[in-house]
Amino acid sequence: MKDERFCNSNCPFTRAIGTIGNKWKPIIINVIGTRTIRFGQLDAIIPHITRKVLTEQLKELEEDGLLERMAYKELPPRVEYKLSEKGLAFLPILEAIKVWNLKYEVVTMP
Amino acid sequence: MKDERFCNSNCPFTRAIGTIGNKWKPIIINVIGTRTIRFGQLDAIIPHITRKVLTEQLKELEEDGLLERMAYKELPPRVEYKLSEKGLAFLPILEAIKVWNLKYEVVTMP
DNA sequence: TATACTGGTTACTATTCGGTAACTACAAAT
DNA sequence: ATTTGTAGTTACCGAATAGTAACCAGTATA
């Protein structure tokens, strides 16, 4: 997120929302989980995301220390991503969101 | 969020992100907490938010069943908001985010 | 008479975000 | 000689989001 009022807030909670409070980042973190995964796999697994947006989000996640990026000097190139300790520590929160949604979501049948 | 790919996803986790995965909603839910609070108070307490955006977000939170809105037929008008059971059940997740951030955030001194 | 009060709404504009399609590098295989 | 493969980048455009400022109702107060 570029919003400086969030990223530079003096409230730590607001800053936290600044790093993970958008639609793609929780999805990406959840898909990576505990594995090491390549860019192309992420692009294939995550529905509807474009390579451009995926690149941007991965870059921000890396800057915020949730993600580790390992580029191998090969051809064709190979780049692997995995969650850092900080990223892994966020997984239980995503699990809690799943449980919360399962319990309270109102499903309307069309 | 208007993105139908999130709100109508067949993945419940993706739908959950569709309802709370933006920057203002976690902030608003956190500020309300367990109390009953008026529109003007929210506007005054939450930094940088505008009345327009606050109105929109409150409306969406109500539609998604996280929030209850009570309007009193008085003059000047009085409208009170409080979290529903679903909204209250989300508070521990926000607490977990605070703890997570506190533990892992890298603070850079300027 | 004019102003304040509350909880909005409206019209307009600015900014940010997201999407599409084309393009890159370099080696290996066909 | 051309195609395939990976992990992007770039330019451009449109959509979504957010911000600004003015305005509303109807009573009470100055």
pLDDT at B108: 61
Mean pLDDT of chain B: 93
pLDDT for B73 equals: 87
Q: Where are the beta strands (DSSP E) in chain A?
A: 37-38, 67-72, 78-83
The residue-averaged pLDDT of B8-15 equals: 92
Which CATH number does the domain housing residue B20 bear?
A: 1.10.10.10
Quote the pLDDT of residue B76. 86
- In which residue ranges of chain A is pLDDT below 50? none
| A-to-B residue pairs, Cβ atoms closer than 8 angstroms | 97
CA distances, B70 to each of A54, A75, A80, B20, B89 (Å): 41, 62, 51, 22, 20
B74 touches strand C (CB under 7 A): no
Supply the DSSP symbol for A11. Answer: S
pLDDT of residue A110: 52
Question: Is A108 part of any domain?
Answer: no
- Give the pLDDT score at B36: 96
- Is B14 within a domain? yes
pLDDT at residue B110 tops 90: no
What does the pLDDT look like over A25-38, one tens digit per residue? 999 999 999 999 99
Number of structural domains in chain A = 1
Query: A23, B1: Cβ pair inside 8 Å?
Result: yes
φ, ψ of residue A101 to 5 degrees: the values are: -65, -45
Protein-contacted positions of strand D (CB under 7 Å): 5-11, 16-22, 25-27
Backbone angles phi, psi at A48, to 5 degrees: 75, -10
CB contact under 8 A, B18 and A23: yes
Closest by CA to A92, choosing from A17, A21, A29, A1, is A29
Does residue B107 have a pLDDT over 80?
no
**pLDDT score recorded for residue B75:** 81
Question: Is A93 a domain residue?
Answer: yes
| pLDDT for residue B95 is more than 60 | yes
**What pLDDT score does A106 carry?**
76
Q: Is residue A110 part of a domain?
A: no
Contact check, Cβ <8 Å, B98/A16: yes
The answer to whether position A109 is within a domain reads: no
| Structural domain of A81 | 4-102
Asked if residue B109 has pLDDT above 60, the reply is no
Quote the pLDDT of residue B98: 96
Chain B residue with minimal CA distance to A27? Answer: B14
Please tell me the predicted confidence (pLDDT) of residue A86: 97
Q: Which tokens belong to A21?
A: 């409070």
- Measured CA to CA, the distance from residue B64 to residue A104 in angstroms comes to 10
CA end-to-end distance (rounded Å), chain B: 35
Cβ-Cβ contacts under 8 Å, B92 against chain A = 96
Residue A48 lies in a domain: yes
Q: Do A100 and B106 touch (CB under 8 A)?
A: no
B chain contacts of residue A60, beta-carbon cutoff 8 Å: none
B36-89 residue pLDDT tens: 999 999 999 999 999 999 999 999 999 999 999 999 988 889 999 999 999 999
The whole-angstrom distance between B91's CA and the closest CA on chain A is 11
A69 occurs within a structural domain: yes
pLDDT band for position B101 (cuts 50, 70, 90): very high
Q: What are the tokens at B76?
A: 């000047």
Within a domain: A45: yes
Rounded to whole angstroms, the distance from the CA of residue B74 to the C1' of nucleotide C6 is 10
Q: Which residue has the tokens 């860019």?
A: A39
